[in-house]
Amino acid sequence: MTLQVDTLLINIGQLLPMKANGPKKGKEMGSLEVIEHAALGIKDEKVVFYGTMEEASHIKSKEQIDCQNKLVTPGLVDPHTHLVFGGSREHEMALKQQGVPYLDILKNGGGILSTVEATRNTSLEDLIDKAKPHLNRILSYGVTTMEAKSGYGLDPETELKQLEAIRALNQDHVLDIVSTFLGAHAIPASQKDDPDGFLDEMARMFEEIKEKNLAEYVDIFTETGVFTVEQSRRFLQRAKDYGFGLKIHADEIDPLGGAELAAELDAISADHLVGTSDEGIKRMAQAGTIAVLLPGTTFYLGKETYARAIEMIQQDNAVALATDFNPGSCPTENIQLIMSLAALRLKMTPEEIWHAVTVNAAHAIGRGDQAGQLTVGRKADVVIWDAANYLYIPYHYGVNHVHAVLKNGKVVYKRGNGVERLSFS
């Protein structure tokens, strides 16, 4: 019987279908199905066939894309970003060089609070316009689904403005964006002495955010000088009661016990986890909370100690990777660089890394049923790489290896010979 498809990708050198029934945990992260000399059939924006070229011989297609023996994978998923913000923080680079710690910059009114000031002073339209080039760059690195947080308003009006910007970007841009409310990102200077009152104010926003469907998840920065574990528990429990999924910025700088709290509250993910205890690692695995690791941030903050990815995997956790793209602690859209850092600093294997930026990242933002796989019925979000094999991407670091990106079955971004456009030759 012949199968009729819209588009058939042929001569794929290596295809990673990433077939999974849920997040890949522990040892499962290390085994990767690779189909050589493969084909991928797309119809009505979805994958309808994947297999070898021989198996594809019965397929008729309106359009063919010759992949010239390149690597083909699912579109990547970036499950932790702070996409929408005013201003930028390049002036903090000198402070960092002088050794001023991230939390001291924040304590002195800089860091997150300087971005809050800039975001309050930026209109909705300008926030949207400012985020678009970042979004284009994120797509150019092969990401087709991502998460974006608010958290640079710290007042109801500006938090809503950020969430509305995220919604508009999700509607206007081909990239799929999952929204998270991070009103509990820092304590605004005006409420410095009343963090509980501030959290009450942010929690009073839950109803409106839910009604307007402006966020699926609620997140909090559980950190020394920001919010305690106790405050985080109360705040997140209230969010849970409203039906939000939960995320935590946990143990990024000091090991307060954010991972244990994430497990206790059945959070979908706990993110950062640099200082997480043995107990926290164990409990996340038991609860099925996904460990979202952000090695770009550890690198950018100049720290020696990275999250214990290998122990997390040995303890049967599902690990995902994200950029943490933000104007302070990780100003990069380059998820491929994060894959290299995961190899070099977290000592993850290439097989684990590919699971961490596809299947597991999709599950970390509740999109495991749509994104992160190229199996039948999934969205045809595809990356064709300028590489012959999957080992090559984390290896050749700091540059963009994307050849083309397909979103919902259509080519939305194309490079050639490693660059976007040559104005010479």
Q: Which residues bind ligand IZC (CB under 6 A)?
A: 82, 111-112, 115, 221, 249, 252, 326-329
How far, in Å, CA of 296 to CA of 341, rounded? 7
How far, in Å, CA of 222 to CA of 200, rounded? 16
Cβ 332 to ligand IZC shortest distance, Å? 13
Residue with smaller CB distance to ligand IZC, 271 or 352 = 271
What are the structure tokens assigned to 114, written together?
């300087």
HSE of 112, CA atoms in CB hemisphere, 13 A? 22
Calculate ∠ Cα 188-191-196, nearest 5°: 105
Q: What are phi and psi of 270, to 5 degrees?
A: -125, 130
Question: Helix, strand, or coil here: 130?
Answer: helix
Interface with Zn ion (CB under 5 A), residue total 1
From ligand IZC, Zn ion, none, interface partner of 221 (C-beta below 5 to 8 A by class): ligand IZC
From ligand IZC, Zn ion, none, interface partner of 317 (C-beta below 5 to 8 A by class): none
From ligand IZC, Zn ion, none, interface partner of 329 (C-beta below 5 to 8 A by class): ligand IZC
Residue with smaller CB distance to ligand IZC, 249 or 308 = 249
Cβ 324 to Zn ion shortest distance, Å? 5
- Those residues whose C-beta lies under 8 Å from the C-beta of residue 91, and which sit 6 or more positions away, are none
Of the candidates 134, 188, 111, 195, the residue with the CA atom closest to the CA atom of residue 157: 188
Contact status, residue 378 vs residue 46, Cβ threshold 8 Å = yes
CA 253 from centroid of its chain's CA atoms: 20
| Residue showing the smallest CB distance to ligand IZC in the complex | 328
Residue with smaller CB distance to ligand IZC, 98 or 417 = 98
How far, in Å, CA of 142 to CA of 145, rounded? 9
Cβ 129 to ligand IZC shortest distance, Å? 20
Cβ 326 to ligand IZC shortest distance, Å? 4
How far, in Å, CA of 147 to CA of 188, rounded? 24
321-340: which residues touch Zn ion (CB under 5 A)? 324
Contact status, residue 146 vs residue 407, Cβ threshold 8 Å = no
Cβ 322 to Zn ion shortest distance, Å? 8
- In 126-260, DSSP assigns E strands to 143-149, 176-184, 217-222, 245-250
Helix or strand holding residue 60 (H, E) = strand 59-66
How far, in Å, CA of 112 to CA of 186, rounded? 7
Residue with smaller CB distance to Zn ion, 85 or 413 = 85
Burial class (CB in 10 A: 0-12, 13-18, 19+), 99: exposed
Cβ 182 to ligand IZC shortest distance, Å? 8
Number of residues that this document lists for the chain: 425
Residue with smaller CB distance to ligand IZC, 78 or 252 = 252
Residue with smaller CB distance to ligand IZC, 111 or 295 = 111
From ligand IZC, Zn ion, none, interface partner of 111 (C-beta below 5 to 8 A by class): ligand IZC
Question: Helix, strand, or coil here: 204?
Answer: coil
From ligand IZC, Zn ion, none, interface partner of 115 (C-beta below 5 to 8 A by class): ligand IZC
Residue with smaller CB distance to ligand IZC, 112 or 362 = 112
Cβ 382 to ligand IZC shortest distance, Å? 31
Residue with smaller CB distance to Zn ion, 333 or 351 = 333
- Those residues whose C-beta lies under 8 Å from the C-beta of residue 94, and which sit 6 or more positions away, are none
78 has which bridge partners? 146
Exposure string of 360-396, with b = 16+ CB inside 10 Å and e = fewer, is bbbbbbbbbebbbbbeeebbbbbbbbbbebbbebbee
Residue with smaller CB distance to ligand IZC, 219 or 351 = 219
Residue with smaller CB distance to ligand IZC, 111 or 275 = 111
**Could you list the residues that contact Zn ion (CB under 5 A)?**
324
